[in-house]
Structure 1
Amino acid sequence: MHLHRTTRRRTLHEALPLVAAISVLAFWSAGAAAVPKIPKVSVGIEKCIPTVLAKHPGTVLQVVLKPEDGKPVWEIEVDGKDGKLWDVECSGATGKIVESEQRFKSADEAGFKDKAKISEADATKIALAKHPGKVERVEYEIEADGTPVYEFDIELANGDDIRVEVDAVTGKLHEAHAELIEIGRLPK
């Protein structure tokens, strides 16, 4: 039997999901000591993305898997058709949306600037004092309850990535979560 080129391509195309899954498992196994233990992800991005896009139609820019309170959460960044940026969290256990936040392009954008009391420079110092490393990205968000926050992606000295939220009114740390998987890259 002679395999045709199209058959080989199709076979490779069909094998890609398996190869990707094995790569992720190998990555997790290799860094098991450094990666926080999280419960099993029961609902993948293939189910969370349509749920998120039903609420906020648009283009998915980035997906991050992170643990929150011991549970897996998919954080999905959407450039909405409504002209707004959205940061939507979908439970990796239930597939339901657990939080939806509006994201702004800069700290000077109306909607964020008029609510923030702490400067970005001060928020950066607060985040790095607790989680020393290199700030890779800063996002400006309004939480579901209306609180403005700076969200920092920080690369720690050991190479791990962490997301840290600092309240833009009080300067208190809201949360810090490891980034277990990051798919896509947000534009700067």
Structure 2
Amino acid sequence: MKSSTFYLATFLVLSFFSMASWALDQGLDTCINSAKQSKSGYILKLEKLNMAGKAVYEIEVADVNRGEWEFLCEADTGKIIEKESEVTDAKSEAFKKNMKVTEQDAAATALKAYPGKIEEVEYEIEENGGSSYEFDIMSNKGIETKVEVDAATGKIIETAIEEWEAGEETEERR
């Protein structure tokens, strides 16, 4: 009797984790399909983020014109919640037209809130045309936090903790 109870409990636990894993995979598939429907091209990078306790996928896509796009997608619903284009640097006309805060000042704001080392900077154009800096900051505990700073106001507008990353943009594309 004890062994059958043990096997049943083990089966139920494994089934639960298998179903949870399957549900997460379905969310990622849905998010990838949603991003591809919005912008055709190929995926450069996938990241799973924790935004205020909510699982979100960040999907970076390169289009046929070598433009780069970033999509944030809710892991549980597959709904795209944000779409941004990326430019190579802060000197881009699309970025400069709304920029009032230097990269150095934006970086200082991000590092004050999330101390560590800046690993990467992206220059993003929001759907409304606004510009923002996205800093990937690695803490001394090995936790990477994405901090987005509005280039017009200098205020932090979004943060997320990176749980994992697959793929990487090459320097040629930056």
TM surpasses 0.5 = yes
* 3-state SS, counterpart of residue 73 of structure 1: strand
Asked if the contact 1:42/1:94 (under 8 Å) is kept, the reply is no
Given the alignment of the two structures, is residue 161 of structure 1 paired with residue 144 of structure 2, yes or no?
A: yes
Aligned equivalents of 1:68, 1:158: Cα separation in 2? 19
1:141 to 105, 111, 124: 124
Q: 1:126 aligns with which of 109, 130, 142?
A: 109
Matching of residues 62-141 of structure 1 within 5 Å: 62-141=45-124
Deviation at 1:42, TM superposition (A): 6.8
1:47 aligns with 2:25: no
Could you tell me how far apart the structure 2 residues matched to 1:107 and 1:184 are? 24
Runs of 4+ in 1 over 3 A off after TM superposition: 40-44
- d(CA) in 1 for partners of 2:156, 2:79: 26
Q: Which residue of 1 aligns with 2:165?
A: 182
Secondary structure at the residue paired with 1:116?
Answer: coil
Is contact 2:118–2:137 with CA below 8 Å preserved after alignment? Answer: yes
Q: Distance in 2 between matches of 1:67 and 1:41?
A: 14
Aligned length: 152
Aligned-CA RMSD value: 2.1
Bigger helix fraction: 2
With normalisation by structure 2, the TM-score equals 0.80
CA contact under 8 A between 1:118 and 1:169: conserved in structure 2?
yes
Query: Mean Cα displacement is larger for which, 95-104 or 42-51?
Result: 42-51
Output the amino acid matched with 2:90: A
Percent identical residues? 39
User: Residues 52 and 160 of structure 2 are in contact (CA less than 8 Å); yes or no, is this contact kept in structure 1?
Assistant: no
Q: Secondary structure at the match of 1:51?
A: helix
Q: SS where residue 151 of structure 1 aligns?
A: strand
Q: TM-score, normalised by structure 1?
A: 0.74
Measured in 2, the distance between the counterparts of 1:99 and 1:147 equals 13
Counterpart of 1:57 (choices 40, 43, 48) is: 40
